[in-house]
Structures are given as C-alpha cells and as structure tokens.
Amino acid sequence: MTETVAVTRTTSLGVVVGSRDASSGIDRYLGVPYAAAPTHERRFAYPVAHPGWQGVREATSMGATAPQAPYGPVSSRFLAAAEVPGDEYLNLNIWAPEGATGSPVMVWVHGGALAHGSNALDGYDGSAFARDGVVFVSINYRVGVEGFSVLDGAPLNIGLADVVAAFRWVRAEIAAFGGDPANITAVGQSAGATLLWALLARDDARSLMDRAILQSGPPSAAEPPVASRLTRRIAKHLGVPATRAAFAEIPASRLSDAEQTVTHGSTPIGGGLAYSLAIDAELVPRPPLESLRDGAASGIPLLIGLTSEEYRLWLVPTGLVDRLGFLPFALARLRYRVTSRIMRIYRALHPGAARGELLGHLAGDMLIGLPYMKIAKARATRGAPTHFYEFAWRSPVAGLGAAHAVELGFVFDRLDSADWEALSGPDAPQGLADEMHAAWVSFARTGEPGWSGWQEDESIKVFDTEAPAGDTPLVRRLRAWLA
C-alpha cells in the first residue's frame, strides 16, 4: 500500500492540502479551482474569479468534470472518459517533485473535439513529468454545449476563455507549488492543440506561455454562421431559439443528450456536425493559421507534431475505410481540390490502398499536416524556433496503426494505463516512450527537444522503433502539396 503524507500550499484564494507519495517523492494537488463554478447566472458567460475559501481546502481527489455527452459506441472502445459530479469543474490538477523550487512548468490542455474530455483521466496522470523534475498542470474547461455554443446574447468561445483564465492562474500561482512562473510550456493534443493555436495567435500570447507543444490539432476557426450550425440544430431539436436565455433554462444533461442525438455519426475526418472555434473580435479575431503565418507567436518556441495516420481512429473501427464508394471519393477530391498530379503521388506512395485510405490521408493532410508545414515554413523565414516531429509507430490494436491519440501513452510515459492500452495494446515499446517523453521534458526545460529545428534544415524527427529510410510517405505527401 502506498504511503502518503499531507502537504500544504498557500495560494491567493486560500490554503490547499494535497498528498505526497512517500516512495516517489511526488506531490499531488487535485481539483484546485481556478475560476468560480459556471452555474446559474454564470452559465454561457466568460469565467469569473473564484471567491476563495476559508480554512484548508482538500485537494486529494479528482475534481468535478465538465458536463458533456458520452462518446459513441465505437469511439468509447478506444477513448477513455471520466465523470466526477459537481459544479466546480473549472479546476486543475498539479503534480510536483517534492521540494521543487523554480522547476519548469507544463500545462496540459486535453483534447476531445471540443465536446469531450477532462483532466481526470488516469492516462493524464502527470507523475512521470514530476519524476523528471517538471511541475505538471492539467486543466479542465467547458466543452460541448456549455463551452462552444453560438448563442444570441452570449459570448463566443467560452471554453477558450476558460483556458485563458487557467493559464493566468498558473502564471500567478504556480510558484507556490514549486514551479517557475517564467518558464511555462503549454501542451495540447487534438482539440487541446486547436485551443492553443488560438492562444498563440493572440497579441498577449507571451503573457500566457513561454513555449508550446502542439500535437494533432488543426489551427482552425470558422465564421460564426458556420460555427453555429451545430448549435442551431440542437436548438431545433429541442424546439427553442438559439439564445442564451433559452439554453440557460435547460439542464446541462438535457442539452448534452440533444447534442449526442444530432451529432450521431459525425467524425473529424468523415464530416458532419461538430463544434469549432468561432471568429470573434474578443478572442479569435482571425483564423489562427493566418495569424501564425503572418508572424504571430514568432517569439515563442514551438514543438509541433502529428501522427502518420491520424484518420485511422475514425475510419478503421467504423469500417468506413473499406466502404467508401466512388462518388463520395470524387466529391472529396473536389472539396480538397486534389489535382491529378497530387492523386498520382498519393497512389504511388500507397500502392493498393483503398479509396477510404486515400481519402483518410487526404483529409488528415489538409486538416493538420499541411497547415503545420505552412506554419513551420513561415516561422523559418523569421527565424522563429520550431521543431517538428511525426509519430509513426503502428499500434496492432484493431488496425489502428499510427492513428490519432495513439502517441499519448508514450508522451505521458504511462503505457501501462488502461486508458492507453486500449489504443496501443499491452506490449507497446517502452523504449519509444522513454524517447518521446524525454523529448517533451527537454523542450520544457530548454526549448530543445533533441534534434535540429525546422529553420535549420527542415528537419522532421520520426518517432518509431525503426529509423525511416529517407522521407516518410507523410512528409513526401506534404511536400508535394507545397512543390
């Protein structure tokens, strides 16, 4: 049985007591609020400061999780979820080395298509980072209807505003937990990376973070009429107007049920209704890709990465990869403006691939890979520090291969967590986890992950058990688009 002792820290809001694992020397402070509970008049509004508390607040168990619809039956086989009841779900968790002082800080922003996820997953346990001298913080934010609806009378991008508030809390308070407030690395995957791209595009990005790691999340945002499509469909399903007043009268659980109904069958690759960031003057004045290419965040070192086969998480388990007909494939080619030259390159790089596989590669490249390469190239012209990587190890589970999210057990160095075994199996290579986790830690410490930056030689690090012979198919595809 693990022996723990109480550890106490004082913040500007009050005193928190966490727990220390006596054997590992790792301190944990769980469920610490960074903003007031977003209930009653605070629903569908920007976050406000927490009022604080008297006495000592227990921080020894996971805090509440944001209201959300569950994953569908296929996704839930591979993507873990946690549900902790309570209203104070604008909270964060902290793992710190015993006796830490002035340690580098990493702030984790979870993914989940802006509709799912929380910081309470076992797979997001930050112990391995604390073991290696990092103060690791994982945050919650509002997701789904509560976080990304487009409603008359309500601000846009509420979940993004939560993330801003969490980073401001970390900058102000993390020294009390042994972290260096002048050395904060923002880290996000999937939708978490999308949120961080939006923060990086802000004029005040440098006040929130000093470095950033972004994995597999598109730097995208839509005009409000487009971003509002899912909200309007939910409102129609419920028979109410798409207004703050109407939605605020409906319990969060009923809103989530409606969301689940109208998004059935939607996927990031296959299409359908989904949440997106909305262009608005307050938080996202321009599409993040445009801002980054025009020089935003040039003073912030970036580590950006993606997986070789992002699409397989959605197309393979559902069987869509094998069922795609000629007409949908032709329409997709038109949508992505795929020339005959590009199509020949894709077919040559993937001989014998089914239409679904080719479409998956095209969609993944257009959503994530190509924007990432464009950002890296633009930053290179300004000498902005940028390191690029590809995760290429192929999971044997259910034909997932190097799919979206398979890399997470490696970067967290938690391959034995059931959350990640569902994606990578019980025999995933620990040596690769050692390498990838160490690269993230090194970047948080020094800004150098262990290979040369893009601005020097367009170097792309490949994480796999075997070194590739030359450029990978992913790199060749992306360079073909920019040729």
Task: Express each pLDDT in 220-248 by its tens digit.
Answer: 999 999 999 999 999 999 999 999 999 99
pLDDT level of residue 449 (50, 70, 90 thresholds): very high
Average pLDDT over residues 204-227: 97
Q: How many domains does the chain have?
A: 1
Q: Could you please report the per-residue DSSP string of 274-308?
A: ----B-BTTTBSS-HHHHHHTTTTTTS-EEEEEET
Average pLDDT over residues 292-309: 98
pLDDT level of residue 30 (50, 70, 90 thresholds): very high
pLDDT level of residue 267 (50, 70, 90 thresholds): confident
Contacts of 375 (CB under 8 A, 6+ apart): 219, 289, 292, 293, 302, 304, 386
Can you tell me the distance from the alpha carbon of 81 to that of 40, in angstroms, rounded to the nearest whole number?
Answer: 26
Q: Which domain holds residue 235?
A: 4-482
Of 88, 309, 310, 357, the catalytic one is 310
Q: What's residue 473's pLDDT?
A: 96
Q: Using the 8-state DSSP alphabet, how is residue 311 labeled?
A: T
Residue 426 has pLDDT above 90, yes or no: yes
Q: What's residue 114's pLDDT?
A: 98
Of 110, 116, 361, 404, the catalytic one is 404
Q: What's residue 1's pLDDT?
A: 62
Can you tell me the distance from the alpha carbon of 288 to that of 296, in angstroms, rounded to the nearest whole number?
Answer: 9
310 catalytic? Reply is yes
190 catalytic? Reply is yes
Average pLDDT over residues 95-113: 97
Q: What's residue 82's pLDDT?
A: 96
Residue 98 has pLDDT above 80, yes or no: yes
Of 190, 256, 308, 424, the catalytic one is 190
Average pLDDT score over the chain: 96
Percentage of the chain with pLDDT > 70?
99
Can you tell me the distance from the alpha carbon of 148 to that of 158, in angstroms, rounded to the nearest whole number?
Answer: 6
Residue 469 has pLDDT above 90, yes or no: no
Residue 268 has pLDDT above 80, yes or no: no
Average pLDDT over residues 77-87: 96
User: Which stretch of 52-61, 412-421, 455-464 has the lowest confidence by average pLDDT?
Assistant: 455-464
Sign of CA dihedral 346, 347, 351, 357: positive
Phi, psi of 228 (to 5 degrees): -90, -5
Task: Express each pLDDT in 315-334 by its tens digit.
Answer: 999 888 988 888 888 988 88
Could you tell me which of 205, 207, 192 has the C-alpha nearest to residue 160? 192
Residue 308 has pLDDT above 70, yes or no: yes
- Domain harbouring 263, CATH code: 3.40.50.1820
